[in-house]
């Protein structure tokens, strides 16, 4: 891990940054870089993000006009639209030798975007949601980040990625080197198999087992969904050790016995298959094909989820727990 004291170069000093996108990450990174003394402008289309950037005191332009001025272009639009935005508004307007930055390697790794050979292509990927990055920066700290590069035209791409991370406050918490391939593979794998896909499927299945056995849906919700945050917070604070120390011996013993039966060899094989389909581009093609077909599959999956009994029971119970709304403060989606 690298920290502030380890980042001593100054290749980004005096450079103009254009942030393309002003959602949760764009807002956080742009404000953090500006507060660190960098010259920052915003490139977005007219709408909510444009107005928000204006209110925050930035000079705001169309994407094309922002890119024309920039020495560093940080692309923070959603994965599915990045290639279109790049081809239509970024690529034709890039300065010769401009540095191009990303916080996720998806489009470069899968060659949806092919940068010009004279550009450094760097990554600065905070390991936390945008609003948390902003809050911790203002508190004098930060969240850890990954740094690295895909293309080193200048010979200084790695240093630029570290400087970018330092300007975002991430070097206060720690920087870890990565590659576009590694970050993309691990990020997609974690989301699909553990953090989102795995966890939601586990919760949904546990809810079904309890309700189909005749137990109250409300009780089932509290047992397998609501309490998940409590357990995850303990793991976040001190790993499995703290989680087990703060729970009963009964629960600890039972988890050692039953956990590997639920998430066992078959689950591992499914995860290995999922990783292979990330590595060979199968998932990326499926995702982009669905986007180009109007996201028919995604919207169908989303509608099914919203109509599930678990979601409806949870909505009713959360409406009676106003303290839960505080959790939204640091998880605002990209605008």
Residue ranges of E strands in the chain: 16-20, 39-43, 60-61, 72-75, 99-102, 121-126, 145-151, 175-177
22 φ/ψ angles, rounded to the nearest 5 degrees: -140, 50
DSSP assignment of 199-265, as one string?
HHHHHHHHHHHHHHTT--HHHHHIIIIIHHHHHHHHHHHHHHHHHHHTS-HHHHHHHHHHHHHHSSH
Count of residues making up the chain? 335
How far, rounded to the nearest angstrom, does the alpha carbon of residue 203 sit from its chain's CA centroid?
22
- Phi first, then psi, for residue 99 (nearest 5°) are -85, 135
The token pair at 61 is: 């332009």
Active site residues per annotation? 104
Which residues define the annotated binding site for NADP(+)? 22-25, 45, 49, 130
C-alpha to C-alpha distance for 129 and 330, rounded to whole angstroms? 7
Question: What tokens appear for 53 in the block?
Answer: 């950037």
Binding-site residue ranges: 22-25, 45, 49, 130, 187, 191, 223, 227, 248
User: Hey, what are 330's tokens?
Assistant: 């640091």
- Which segments are annotated as binding site for substrate? 248
Separation in Å, CA 254 to CA 39, 200, 219, 232, 260: 56, 21, 20, 18, 10
């Amino acid at each position: 891990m690298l920290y502030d004291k380890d980042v001593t170069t100054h290749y980004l000093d005096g450079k103009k940054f254009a942030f393309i996108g002003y959602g949760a990450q764009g807002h956080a990174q742009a404000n953090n870089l500006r507060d660190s003394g960098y010259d920052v402008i915003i490139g977005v289309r007219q709408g909510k993000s444009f107005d928000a950037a204006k209110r925050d005191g930035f000079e705001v332009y169309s994407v094309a006009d922002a890119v024309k001025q920039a020495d560093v272009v940080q692309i923070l639009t959603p994965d599915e639209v990045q290639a279109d935005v790049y081809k239509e508004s970024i690529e034709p307007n890039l300065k010769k030798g401009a540095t191009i930055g990303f916080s996720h390697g998806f489009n470069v790794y899968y060659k949806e975007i092919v940068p010009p050979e004279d550009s450094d292509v760097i990554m600065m990927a905070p390991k936390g949601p945008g609003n948390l990055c902003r809050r911790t920066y203002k508190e004098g700290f930060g969240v850890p980040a990954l740094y690295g590069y895909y293309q080193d035209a200048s010979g200084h791409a790695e240093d630029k990625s570290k400087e970018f991370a330092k300007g975002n406050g991430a070097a206060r918490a720690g920087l870890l080197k990565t590659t576009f391939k590694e970050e993309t593979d691990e990020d997609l794998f974690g989301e699909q198999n553990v953090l989102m896909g795995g966890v939601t499927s586990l919760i949904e299945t546990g809810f079904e087992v309890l309700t189909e056995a005749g137990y109250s849906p409300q009780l089932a919700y509290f047992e397998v969904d609501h309490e998940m945050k409590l357990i995850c917070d303990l793991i976040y604070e001190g790993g499995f050790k703290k989680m087990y120390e703060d729970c009963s011996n009964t629960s600890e013993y039972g988890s050692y016995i039953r956990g590997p039966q639920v998430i066992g060899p078959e689950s591992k094989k499914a995860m290995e298959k999922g990783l292979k389909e990330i590595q060979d581009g199968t998932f990326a093609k499926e995702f982009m094909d669905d986007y180009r077909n109007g996201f028919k599959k995604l919207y169908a999956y989303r509608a099914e989820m919203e109509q599930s009994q678990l979601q409806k029971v949870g909505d009713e119970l959360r409406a009676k727990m106003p303290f839960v709304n505080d959790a939204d403060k640091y998880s605002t989606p990209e605008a």
